[in-house]
Structure 1
């Protein structure tokens, strides 16, 4: 069957549900016929204007919360890129703009993100179903007193749902604070390993609790050597934080007695099989030897470390890559590789939040990282870490945790 061309603008306008298309800063980009019908507005008078300029709260109702609740939902969608279904809302609408006469209305809103090519929120679809019409349809079979009671009950239930949602948001905020405190305890700022300083950064994801999935570790070894590692536990929150802490501690102990990073990751992989939630966690470890000017490394399903050479060339260390921890049913020795470095080079270990974006090939993110490293090759470790986060993470925050460790060699 031949594929017919689709006029998506016509489809949007014909949708039976009332729909607004907004920018992340809540400017109205488009509106369909159903929305114009229920709102009583003309399209050319609202396009390009701010949502709450067109639809303000009823100034005659000191308890009005429509703008506040809707603004909070839209901000969550813009920040997280996750759809948000709101509780039933009372949101009065001015009969005609500027009239000062507000009509009591009830709505069931759903706000959904539209992602751009970079994986970030480009637009927000604000869809509403008006419940007021259903109430009025039912009220034709009851007396006016019963209608008022029914409307009062509906409004009371709507306010109760709003209060429940607010308590849930507060509980999530408290849980996030606990997780962040746990992260600080498990991922302390590193002290210099011997005479070598290291810059580390941990950027939690935006959203309710999305923290503590990623980790890093720095360990001073015998001789003029240092082990640097990062890892990523699947999932977020307190459960992921507990798994992260166990894996980090186990690898930190293993590298002190193992014969190189490959053997240390073998031990960690065996240990991961006994830890619930550690399945398919990834990790990479590099041992830096200043006496021989070599880096020995091994990776368990993790993005490759980046070696920034003094001349600005970036080399991704991908010659010793293996599946994630605990992924194989039977034990197999992990690969290990070595590379030389010159004075003034920098080793960069990171988790996938720094380079991966939705709907984008990871090679694009790696090229973006390499370009930033080359441009700022003269920066010290601390400034380089800040610059990478500023240039590579989305302005509104990322939906995945990001750990970053930079060592100037």
Structure 2
């Protein structure tokens, strides 16, 4: 088979049909394709290295002009969120480079998209534009010029209205995310003094609006030199998931204080979840640590198994007491639990699926990657180990699902 030739991506960029430009996060041109320079009426020398709106200012003869503001806000949203932003059709007049002070009316359909660096931050903004001036005018070409002008104005007005609706929706989604994250933060406990033991906790929200605020953790002091540690994951996202999370978190925390063991605590949570909207199919892993007896009793409801890291680098997964998720069965069924011993120097790790799962992998591969990471950092204290797990296991471009993590030295 003939070996494929390397692709000249610079040549591909220049050959792209339509207007395409690359800008820095500060909105300075670093490259444009041939169509962009030609249709914009500017040479590459007039564009490269310059701030976009120094080259293309707003039309001073149009008091209602807002094309520059809308384009700038769209690009800055891309830089801030790392997500593509498709704009409504907008009017943005271009000053004739050969005749300063003469402005030509234009309508555009822009799309702004991010290029992410290895650290997940935006390093370039792709600005792709389709000029639709002639298309809009052609829509009114069968009537007289007055009707064409009315149609053009109507389309422009509707496009502006759509853009305003999109901006209001973005603000509403951003506010919901802020409220959900505030609720999430308020519900997460801070580890208290554990005697000779140490604990580290982490929560990382997803990078986008989706899949955030459903994960949680809990640490509960129990009578008789014991402690309970749990993590959970609610299906859904946003404020609704945060509300369901808060109710399940509180219910399990209360049940843990009176239950004989983790299985009984999860059975109580099953009964409570029947009355909580959004609690269906939530997953939980809960452990009872007996410091004096050097043992861990655990039960998992549809959740990835906790891991015990031993000083020699071997990893044991607590996977012998796994059952379906919360409120997943119609009747009351006793949940299983198992008990394992631990030795001084072991480390218990509980986590949610955002830490390990990838769409293209099966669960065994994901757990194997976690075990390898734990083995590499086996001599690390809980705080540093928690940071190492997040750094090594979460995608460099940012996690697409939120992640909760608890690390306890035994």
Q: Match of 1:255, SS?
A: helix
Provide, for residues 130-163 of structure 1, a one-character-per-residue CA deviation record: whole Å limited to 9, x for no partner: 5323212134334445544544443344333333
- Structure 1 window deviating more from structure 2 (160-169 vs 287-296): it is 160-169
- The residue aligned with 2:277 is 276
Where does 1:210-289 land on structure 2 (aligned, <5 Å)? 210-289=211-290
Give the CA deviation at 1:339.
Answer: 2.1
Report the 3-state secondary structure (helix = DSSP H, G, I; strand = E; otherwise coil) of the residue aligned with 1:372: helix
- Residue number among 71, 75, 81 corresponding to 2:75 in the alignment: 71
Q: SS of the residue aligned with 1:252? A: helix
Counterpart for residue 356 of structure 1: 357
Match of 2:313 in 1: 312
Alignment CA distance shift 1:191-1:61 (3 Å): farther
Q: Which has the larger displacement, 53-62 or 378-387? A: 53-62
The answer as to whether partners of 2:79 and 2:114 remain within 8 angstroms in 1 is no
Alignment of 1:295 with 2:299, yes or no, is no
Would you say the 8 A contact 2:350–2:407 is kept in 1?
Answer: yes
Equivalent residues of 1:19, 1:125 under 8 A apart = no
Whether the 8 Å CA contact 2:58–2:92 is kept in 1: the answer is no
Distance in structure 2 (CA, Å) of the matches to 1:372 and 1:345: 15
CA distance in 2, matches of 1:330, 1:126: 56
* 1:4-403 matches, cutoff 5 A: 36=35, 40=39, 58-61=56-59, 63=66, 64-65=68-69, 67-72=71-76, 74-75=78-79, 78-79=82-83, 85-90=86-91, 104-109=105-110, 130-144=131-145, 146-193=147-194, 196-208=197-209, 210-403=211-404
Q: Structure 1 CA distance, aligned partners of 2:288 and 2:326?
A: 19
In 1, Cα distance between equivalents of 2:294 and 2:242:
35
- Is the CA contact 2:311–2:345 (under 8 Å) kept in the aligned structure 1? yes
TM superposition shift of 1:306: 1.4
Offset, 1:309:
0.7
Pairwise CA distance, 1:193: 4.4
Q: Indicate conservation of the 8 Å contact 1:175/1:209, yes or no.
A: no
Provide the rounded CA distance (Å) in 2 between the counterparts of 1:19 and 1:60.
19
Partners of 1:215 and 1:335 in 2: CA distance: 22
Per the alignment, in what secondary structure is the counterpart of residue 332 of structure 2? coil
TM-score by length of 2: 0.77
CA RMSD of aligned residues (A): 4.3
State TM-score, norm by structure 1.
0.77
Cα distance in 1, alignment partners of residues 145 and 255 from structure 2: 76
Query: Per-residue deviation at 1:188?
Result: 3.1
Task: Report the CA distance between 1:261 and its aligned residue.
Answer: 0.9
Question: The residue matched to 2:258 in structure 1 has which SS?
Answer: coil
CA distance in 1, matches of 2:314, 2:21: 44
- Three-state SS of the structure 2 residue aligned to 1:367 is helix
CA contact (8 A) 1:279 1:327 kept: yes
Tell me by how many angstroms 1:84 deviates: 5.2
Change (3 A) 1:131 1:358: farther
Aligned in 2, Cα 1:358/1:73: closer, same or farther, shift over 3 Å?
Answer: farther
